[in-house]
């Protein structure tokens, strides 16, 4: 079935919906005929996205939400169910990037990255899943991992650690839904290069030269392989609608990363920096 057939008339909750991939998913979901609950810490951004969706004939409720606050996610769930009833699709997209050597990143910055990127996903599922299960109807939960969920990258450690955790959480969640026979499909979305604000907004450690070099690597990948958020949103919703667990925006890149990870693990190799990355970061 197409995404249009699967999702039309349903209700989607998207965290981090004020910009980037979250906004792209939200706009695509609205185009498919879904009612949207838009969550983001930046209220001005989701107000603007909601206004645009409404102007095009859709329905959208902006709810200012800090996903690092578990009680805020409980309030988000209350707002979604009060406004629209049963939630069809939950997309846990909100996330941030942190750059720098691990020993240069302040403790508070580490805490922020892991709380938003990992606990934000976990507590969102905790807030929504009981009511989705109680409805007893087909529903979907999609958690945003990354191509980085398969790999390793210096200077980007908090993000990579968090995205490995999101993948592991999604795998275990999918097994638990299977174990109880729930009609809820779990997906892990694996974005590659998408034109977002994540690196622009990323706090850095105390070594700006290294951080700038890393940003240059990411900018090069975006130039060569980048998608717009709306293009990514269409690919992502198509994959979720098919019931895929793995939902990459760049399938070939994801296959290469997964194969490299498998070879690394089965060979019990030492971590090794790619030569092209070494040449730029050194």
In terms of C-beta density within 10 A (0-12 exposed, 13-18 middle, 19 or more buried), how is residue 200 classed? Answer: exposed
Q: How many whole angstroms separate alpha carbon 264 and alpha carbon 251?
A: 20
Task: Count the neighbouring beta carbons within 10 Å of the beta carbon of residue 76.
Answer: 23
Give the count of alpha carbons within 13 A of 51, CB side only: 6
Q: Which residue has the tokens 């989607």?
A: 12
Which of the following is catalytic: 81, 84, 159, 264? Answer: 159
Question: Any catalytic annotation for residue 159?
Answer: yes
Q: Which residues of 56-72 are buried (b: 16+ CB within 10 A; e: fewer)?
A: eebbbbbbbbbbbbbeb
Which of 112, 121, 110 is CA-nearest to residue 172?
A: 121
Catalytic residue numbers, as ranges: 159
């Amino acid at each position: 079935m197409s995404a249009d057939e699967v999702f039309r008339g349903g209700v989607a909750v998207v965290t981090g919906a004020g910009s980037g991939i979250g906004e792209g998913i939200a706009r695509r979901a609205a185009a498919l005929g879904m009612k949207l609950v838009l969550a983001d810490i930046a209220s001005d951004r989701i107000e603007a996205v909601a206004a645009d969706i409404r102007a095009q004939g859709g329905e959208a409720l902006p709810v200012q939400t800090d996903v690092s606050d578990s009680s805020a996610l409980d309030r988000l769930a209350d707002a979604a169910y009060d406004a629209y009833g049963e939630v069809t699709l939950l997309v846990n997209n909100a996330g941030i990037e942190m750059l720098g050597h691990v020993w240069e990143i302040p403790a508070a910055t580490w805490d922020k990255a892991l709380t938003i990127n990992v606990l934000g996903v976990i507590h969102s599922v905790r807030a929504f899943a009981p009511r989705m299960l109680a409805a007893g109807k087909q529903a979907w939960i999609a958690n945003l991992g990354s191509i980085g969920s398969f790999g390793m990258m210096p200077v980007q450690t908090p993000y990579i650690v968090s995205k490995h955790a999101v993948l592991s959480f999604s795998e275990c969640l999918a097994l638990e839904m299977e174990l109880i026979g729930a009609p809820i499909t779990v997906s892990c979305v694996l974005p590659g290069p998408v034109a977002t604000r994540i690196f622009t907004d990323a706090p850095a450690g105390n070594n700006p030269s290294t951080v700038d070099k890393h940003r240059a690597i990411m900018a090069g990948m975006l130039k060569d392989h980048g998608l717009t958020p709306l293009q990514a949103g269409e690919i992502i919703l198509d994959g979720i609608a098919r019931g895929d667990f793995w939902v990459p925006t760049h399938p070939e890149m994801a296959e290469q990363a997964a194969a490299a990870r498998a070879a690394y693990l089965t060979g019990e190799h030492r971590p090794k920096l790619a030569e092209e990355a070494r040449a730029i970061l050194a």
